[in-house]
Structure 1
Amino acid sequence: MAAQDYYEKDYYAELGVPKTATAAEIKKTYRKLARDLHPDKNPGNTQAEERFKAVSEANDVLSDDAKRKEYDEARELAASGAFRGFSGGNGGGAGGFDLGDLLRNARSGGAGGEGGLGDLFGGLFNRGGAGQQRPRARRGADVETEVALSFDQAVHGETVPLQLTERMTCDTCHGTGAKPGTSPHTCGVCGGSGLTTRNQGSFAFSEPCTNCGGTGSVIDQKCPTCHGDRTVLRTRTLRTRIPAGVSDGQRIKLAGKGEPGLGGGPAGDLYVVVHVGKHELFGRTGDNLTLTVPVTFPELVGGTTITVPTLTGSVSLRVAPGTASGRKLRVKGAGVARTGHAGDLIVTVEVSVPQRISAEAAEALAAFADAVEEDPRPQISRMVGRSGRHAARDDA
């Protein structure tokens, strides 16, 4: 990527966030895009792979406060015309302007200073000048994965294996990209800087050397494992404990379990998204469990005692005479247990209406209806009666 392309590239648009986006908003947006575009989820889809690389590059800059500040400053300078009005050439004299020289001066203590634009561009172009051969320490990328648990596993907690596919330093060449027993040599085109200069109108721009790919070195015999890429995709298995009481859709952070850092930097974090299956009987609202128990009409009228299951066994509940269908009964502490807290079990009693009844039962129901003179719908009956009288007067 040329220096001009760098400050003209809109990383905010790449992620689909405004320039005023907070670090949390950038992080959330990147994770969603990375999850949707990850090569594991889109095998053989080159377009998704390119988008994945683009959003990763944008996140690498915008998620780092120092890099983001320098990137914003470079774009503001470009927008203000600070890079215009200079004659072409290779950066010599007061009339010439070369971003490559600017960056080299920044690294040697000129404009930008240590950690300034030179350091930022140098890191992005994967090159270093004299005294800067060791790569800058950088935190590893965060990783997100998913795990599916049964209802009981989520309630009680479970130790699960997680399989992660990530890009790691090649063990065969130890990151040199060269066949074991050989080593890369300094590029003869760029002299090891990783950059070449091209003129474009009144500008002179530095861009990655096409001969060495911007690395500053050429590999004659490539590593048979990574084929010169210096990194490989590797799958690793990690066992972790999912805590008791985890809910569906919850994200669990495992600090330092993401991708390893570069240049001695710290590892990123691993985020585990939990998907919880449904239970055949219980529902769940927060830490409370819900259960619907069918009962007969005589049980509601005369009262009864019912036995209902819990997560650890069963419990008996008294249904008082005259209980209405839909009444909720609470069993304290029989819900989902977390550290220092347990939810309740909410039992809803619901009258069970048979689809078919015998002739004897039909006769008994009719006798019951005759014996019970109470109107179950008094308010509705009164309103219907008033409506009938009004209609009669209108007809008259």
Structure 2
Amino acid sequence: MSKRDYYEVLGVDKSAGARDIKKAYKKLAMKYHPDRTQGDKALEDKFKEIQEAYEILMDDQKRAAYDQYGHAGVDPNRGGAGFGGGADFGDIFGDVFGDIFGGGRGRQSRARQGADLRYNLELSLEEAVRGKDVEIRVPTLVECEVCHGSGAKKGTSPTTCPTCHGNGQVQMRQGFFAVQQTCPTCSGRGKIISDPCNSCRGQGRTEKTKTLSVKIPAGVDTGDRIRLNGEGEAGEAGAPAGDLYVQVHVKQHDIFSRDGNNLYCEVPLSFTTAALGGELQVPTLDGKVKLKVSPETQTGRMFRLRGKGVKSVRNGMVGDLMCKVVVETPVNLSSKQKDLLKELDESMGGAKSKHSPKEQGFFDGVKKFFDDLTN
């Protein structure tokens, strides 16, 4: 009889991740587990099919072989990766439901992986844009150098817990299910240390401040984080260490603000340059550049300097620098300068709408508004 597609058996898509596969298996295993089906052969066979699909799809190597060659790729009789037909349902069932019932049936206790750590790193805008190598000091738990993580005094070793026989858990029956509880003797470790290490007091880990060199890539921004594999806390009893996440925060800049790969700044523009046009120097992260300003430029106008922004840390594209000009009203005028401005104003005469169209349009709108109110 031909076998059903494993993805179909579990009711998941071929692109499903491990979490979705495990979730689907939990639901089906709870429904069809032999403890619930009371010896029904058809339902027992269905559970075996579900169990087989789960074991194949949760193993990266077997899943890759199945995706490429189908059932032939995982059939031991045809040279495939093979399915462990001799496994007891309870082993997988207990492994999947261990988080609900406190542990797997007959499963050996596992030392916990070390905790992940976070380090907050503050950078200037220039450092974030250009990248740099920094040294950081991180207080953490590391593997004890004396006992090498075992927790036992040098020359001795931990012994198997006599209560749980190394499982780390003891079993209690409740209806259909074998409910697991943490072993009270060894606290779930499965081992007992009779003669603890003097350096770490039996913990297998000691406190230490590590100095690490971190390469900050160019273009990082606030919220980005850099993962350093295995630089977190050491695991218990030789288990793998956690990771260290360097969280980036970019300080506020005096001149520039950043939005994605673009930089923004405000550039003051003199009254005369705004009216007559000219050139002014604007700052960039690479130095000053000249910006040509056309005559009759109004305040708030945005000029784009292409390629003067930030190079993306993800795709290498370079943003722009957006310069917003702000026309500055002259201050501290001398009497002569004031007279010249009055003369300029008088020279415009009744042609204000020609020289200041926005001003004239605004007041025309105000007049119309009040006229409408009185009518």
Q: Give the TM-score category using the shorter length.
A: 0.5 to 0.7
CA contact (8 A) 2:136 2:213 kept: yes
Among 335, 349, 359, the alignment partner of 2:325 is 349
Q: Deviations over 1:205-225 (max 9, x none)?
A: 553332332334432332223
Q: How far apart, CA to CA, are the structure 1 residues paired with 2:274 and 2:208?
A: 62
Q: Which range moved further: 368-377 or 354-363?
A: 354-363
Q: Deviations over 1:15-52 (max 9, x none)?
A: xxxxxxxxxxxxxxxxxxxxxxxxxxxxxxxxxxxxxx
Letter in 2 for 1:362: K
Q: How far apart, CA to CA, are the structure 2 residues paired with 1:337 and 1:191?
A: 58
Q: Does 1:364 align with 2:346?
A: no
Q: How far apart, CA to CA, are the structure 2 residues paired with 1:302 and 1:233?
A: 69
Write out aligned runs for 1:104-115 (5 A).
Answer: 109-113=87-91, 115=92
Give the equivalent residue in structure 2 for 1:383. 365
Letter in 2 for 1:181: G
CA contact (8 A) 1:70 1:116 kept: no
Q: How far apart, CA to CA, are the structure 2 residues paired with 1:315 and 1:220?
A: 73
Q: Does 1:239 align with 2:221?
A: no
For residue 265 of structure 2, give the secondary structure of its aligned residue in structure 1.
strand
Q: How far apart, CA to CA, are the structure 2 residues paired with 1:140 and 1:184?
A: 20
Q: How far apart, CA to CA, are the structure 1 residues paired with 2:271 and 2:278?
A: 11
Q: Deviations over 1:359-385 (max 9, x none)?
A: 433333222211123232232333344
For residue 247 of structure 1, give the secondary structure of its aligned residue in structure 2.
coil
CA contact (8 A) 1:256 1:269 kept: yes
CA contact (8 A) 2:122 2:251 kept: yes
Q: Does 1:336 align with 2:310?
A: yes
CA contact (8 A) 2:204 2:236 kept: no
Q: How far apart, CA to CA, are the structure 1 residues paired with 2:255 and 2:342?
A: 35
Letter in 1 for 2:215: R
CA contact (8 A) 1:143 1:258 kept: yes
Structure 1 residues 126 and 213, CA, compared in 2 at 3 Å: closer, same or farther?
Answer: farther
Q: Does 1:173 align with 2:150?
A: no
Q: How far apart, CA to CA, are the structure 1 residues paired with 2:262 and 2:21?
A: 45
Write out aligned runs for 1:55-94 (5 A).
Answer: 76=30
For residue 249 of structure 1, give the secondary structure of its aligned residue in structure 2.
coil
Write out aligned runs for 1:1-396 (5 A).
Answer: 76=30, 109-113=87-91, 115-117=92-94, 121=98, 142-196=116-170, 206-254=180-228, 269-338=243-312, 340-354=316-330, 356-373=332-349, 374-375=352-353, 376=356, 377-387=359-369
Q: Deviations over 1:197-246 (max 9, x none)?
A: 56889998553332332334432332223322333444433212111111
Q: How far apart, CA to CA, are the structure 2 residues paired with 1:364 and 1:225?
A: 86
Q: How far apart, CA to CA, are the structure 2 residues paired with 1:167 and 1:174?
A: 13
Percent of matched pairs sharing the same residue: 36
Q: How far apart, CA to CA, are the structure 2 residues paired with 1:216 and 1:381?
A: 86
Q: Deviations over 1:245-303 (max 9, x none)?
A: 11222233455655667899876654332111122212222222222111221111122
Q: How far apart, CA to CA, are the structure 2 residues paired with 1:386 and 1:119?
A: 76
Letter in 2 for 1:378: Q
Q: How far apart, CA to CA, are the structure 1 residues paired with 2:258 and 2:345?
A: 39
For residue 360 of structure 1, give the secondary structure of its aligned residue in structure 2.
helix
For residue 341 of structure 2, give the secondary structure of its aligned residue in structure 1.
helix
Q: Deviations over 1:116-159 (max 9, x none)?
A: 41587499769977xx69x58x8766544321111110111111
Q: How far apart, CA to CA, are the structure 2 residues paired with 1:327 and 1:288?
A: 17
Structure 1 residues 184 and 354, CA, compared in 2 at 3 Å: closer, same or farther?
Answer: same
For residue 173 of structure 1, give the secondary structure of its aligned residue in structure 2.
coil
Q: How far apart, CA to CA, are the structure 1 residues paired with 2:240 and 2:275?
A: 68
Structure 1 spans left out of the alignment, 5+ residues: 1-61, 86-107
Q: How far apart, CA to CA, are the structure 1 residues paired with 2:142 and 2:18?
A: 21
Q: How far apart, CA to CA, are the structure 1 residues paired with 2:196 and 2:241?
A: 28
Q: Which range moved further: 190-199 or 303-312?
A: 190-199
Q: How far apart, CA to CA, are the structure 1 residues paired with 2:203 and 2:105?
A: 15
Q: How far apart, CA to CA, are the structure 1 residues paired with 2:344 and 2:87?
A: 99
For residue 342 of structure 1, give the secondary structure of its aligned residue in structure 2.
coil
Structure 2 spans left out of the alignment, 5+ residues: 1-16, 39-85
Structure 1 residues 241 and 292, CA, compared in 2 at 3 Å: closer, same or farther?
Answer: same
Structure 1 residues 356 and 270, CA, compared in 2 at 3 Å: closer, same or farther?
Answer: same
CA contact (8 A) 1:126 1:194 kept: no
For residue 292 of structure 1, give the secondary structure of its aligned residue in structure 2.
strand
Give the TM-score normalised by the residue count of structure 2: 0.64
Letter in 2 for 1:366: K
